[in-house]
Amino acid sequence: MGAEKSATGYPILCNDPHLTLTLPSIWFEIQLVAPKLNVYGVSLPGAPGVIVGFNKEVAWGLTNVDTDVTDWYSITFKDASRQQYKYGEEWRDIRLLIDTLRVRGQAPVLDTLLFTHYGPITAQAHEAQAPWVIQDGIPADCALRWVAHEPSQELLTFYYLNRARNYKDYRQALTYYTAPAQNFIFADVHKDIAITPNGKFPLKWREQGKFVLDGSNPAHEWQGWIPYAQNPHIKNPSRGFVSSANQFPVVDSLYPYYLNWEYATFERGQRINERLTQLQKVNPDSMRFLQYDALSAFAREALPLLLAAVPRNALQAQEQKCFDLLATWDYQFKAEQIAPSIFNQWWANFAKATWEDELALPQMRFPNREMTLGWMARNDSLNPVVWFDDRRTPARETLGELARQTLRQTVKSLTEKYGPLGDAWQWTKVRATRIDHLARIAAFGKSNIISDGDKTAVNALSTSNGPSWRMVVALGRKPEAYGIYPGGQSGNPGSFFYDNMLQDWSQGRLARLLFLSSPQTENNEVVAKIKMNP
């Protein structure tokens, strides 16, 4: 948020990267102080610096860009020995790497990995049930080209961000970054704000790599790299804020480079921009409430179309009650509400019924929510959209018939699983958010976490994925910062500090981050110090 929309006249930076949630958390809170360095935020175990955080003059955060930086290349072997592969008019040698896997109480297992100039062949057809079997999204006899296999210096990016003093320092720090591609958001006390979708991006033709490429054809190679200076970027926009919710990062259709064919759907980005446009005299609480915002712009678009399509005179008593709950719902995915559970299941059933008769093929994905909404909006009684007809039946189904059938299916399935319409249908119980232990030790995880939110809301919380670290930094003469993650500073399940922040996190509360000017600073909030022997 820019200075002109802030209550203090200085920018406010807000960040909440969404990841798979674990206990212990992947993050730990830290302040690092050294000559010419005083930085606060969260880091990853083993990382020599702060990954998301702030110092006295700048603040920064990260979200995933979703740029296409991996491609699969089908490999043509010369013969059954699999020692050479075709590339253009020549046969190139396969490079072998043999790993020895030691197993307790058993003989070691030798694992032979095959490498091409593209990268490793991660699944071989003769090891699968049949040629071209795709297991977990991995095609057989294909080499993986991935930016993360490139030499890189990401740690230098964070080294310099930790010490940054202004926008120029921020931009210079990003030049060292390769992968995984991230939206680097930025604010400083000089009242600059910016966002840079950043990484090493392949130079490719439009939709190159959307499907498996021919590894024997040199024309299918990447053609180089998008110059760093031409990565998407914006500084101090006139609207007074920058934002990212993993959506397509370029608004201008004239941007000359291909980045990807698929990004997050519209709803979270739309809601964030909607609220940031409305907000004035913003303070840290304004941003904290936005992070916990549970309104689904997707439900706001989809539900009226579903409700309008349903012939109400065909509804049974229980279906009518559910219909009425939805008709008065405010599109908020609140923990205690029942309507979100009904809508979520109804949409899942409706989307499946719409597309499965045409696209029920192995590994075939259904169109996304935006595409389905588009066809619903185009539907007309005089010219009904053919997708809503079930081709497997002799009758010609309409949007209304499909909506009624899937509402009935929804009520039936919820009743069978949770009993009669009542408190057992509350959204928090149906979603059943849990945080698993890193080693999947059930007793060390947490289940049935009560919290607002949905993957289509700003508070994008699902069964096991959500905001891994919430941070709000109000810059000024001295930074005022708040943050929290779902866990604690200790990795010991027997410690009070293993999960002591989880309850506040689940309710959208943040803790004040105590940014000390030096290790010797006296502050009544410091309850203990440990002096380490040199």
Dist. CA 78–CA 96, nearest whole Å:
16
Q: What is the mean pLDDT of the chain?
A: 93
Q: Which amino acid makes up residue 191? A: K
**pLDDT for the residue 453:** 97
Q: How many CA atoms lie within 13 A of 383 on its CB side?
A: 3
With tokens 């032979």, the residue in question is 112
Multiple choice CATH, 297-431, 3.30.110, 1.10.3470, 1.10.4100, 1.10.1400: 1.10.1400
- For residue 149, give the nearest of 126, 117, 194 by alpha carbon: 117
Average pLDDT for 233-247: 95
Dist. CA 214–CA 139, nearest whole Å:
13
**pLDDT for the residue 390:** 85
Average pLDDT for 454-480: 96
Average pLDDT for 41-54: 95
Residue 126 contacts by C-beta under 8 Å, 6 or more apart in sequence?
A: none
**pLDDT for the residue 132:** 46
Strand partners, 466: 19
**pLDDT for the residue 130:** 46
Helix (H) or strand (E) holding 87: strand 84-87
Report whether pLDDT(285) > 90: yes
More confident residue, 240 or 124: 240
Average pLDDT for 157-183: 97
Which pair of tokens denotes residue 3?
């200075």
Dist. CA 319–CA 315, nearest whole Å:
6
Dist. CA 185–CA 246, nearest whole Å:
12
Dist. CA 349–CA 306, nearest whole Å:
12
With tokens 């588009």, the residue in question is 374
Cβ-contact 355, 368 below 8 angstroms: no
pLDDT band (50, 70, 90) for residue 136: low
- For residue 370, give the nearest of 219, 526, 248, 193 by alpha carbon: 248
291-465-417-393 Cα dihedral, nearest 10 degrees: 100
**pLDDT for the residue 497:** 95
Report whether pLDDT(26) > 70: yes
What are the extents of the domains in the chain?
297-431
More confident residue, 358 or 51: 51
Residue 148 contacts by C-beta under 8 Å, 6 or more apart in sequence?
A: 69, 178, 179, 180
Taking only the tens place, the pLDDT of each residue in 256-281 is: 999 999 899 899 999 999 999 999 99
pLDDT band (50, 70, 90) for residue 125: confident
Cβ-contact 369, 299 below 8 angstroms: no
Dist. CA 144–CA 4, nearest whole Å:
47
**pLDDT for the residue 131:** 47
Which pair of tokens denotes residue 52?
């998301």
pLDDT band (50, 70, 90) for residue 163: very high
Report whether pLDDT(195) > 70: yes
% of the chain with per-residue pLDDT over 70: 97
Report whether pLDDT(433) > 70: yes
Average pLDDT for 485-500: 95
